[in-house]
Amino acid sequence: MADAHSPDMIVRYTPAERLGHWVVVIFFVLAAASGLALFHPALFWMSGLLGGGPWSVVLHPFAGLAMCVAFYVFVRPLWHHNRMEPRDRAWLSAIRYVLAGCLIALFVSGIVIWRSYFSGYFGISIIRASALLHAFAAFILVAGILVHVSAALWVKGSVPAMMSGTVTLGWAFKHHRAWFREMIRPSSGR
């Protein structure tokens, strides 16, 4: 692997972006493991990794809330990079909006079904519909994250980039050509 400071390397992720990503990852794993343990008896063994059933019940809503807040803090400064451009329509760029929508649905439905604090304010029909929405949105989000992780593992250089923050010029050219051209373009005096 090339030295992170060598001339054939380019900064892909800043330390703040990498930290934000890994904080979201940690809270996602905690929320997903506790949620899956509570979702189905066959997955209850996961609660043992988190201190047992009662701790999973306590941990899940707080980890989910922390994940939503961490994701917002992580994405807010990067959102301008995600404006839809004509070249994005070619590869189903709408997927990122589906996953963000799932996160919002999880947040809202999670508040409604959070028995300790909020469920007393809602009727049983709303709570049941929210529980169904919560399970559906969680399924879509977990599936999307599994695809994200698989792609990161499949594309050589992606995981090391999330550790060091740099990629080779060849990786940048091959996987993100428009970004690569933007990064190597001489500054226009801005």
Query: What residues are labeled active site?
Result: 148
Decide: 147 and 154 in contact? Cβ < 8 Å: no
176: which residues sit within 8 A by CB, 6+ positions away?
none
For residue 60, count other CB atoms closer than 10 A to its CB: 24
**DSSP secondary structure string for all residues of 83-94:** ---GGGGGGTTT
**DSSP secondary structure string for all residues of 91-156:** GTTTHHHHHHHHHHHHHHHHHHH-TTTTGGGS-HHHHHHHHHHHHHHHHHHHHHHHHHHHHHHHST
Dihedral sign computed on CA atoms, order 40, 104, 12, 151: positive
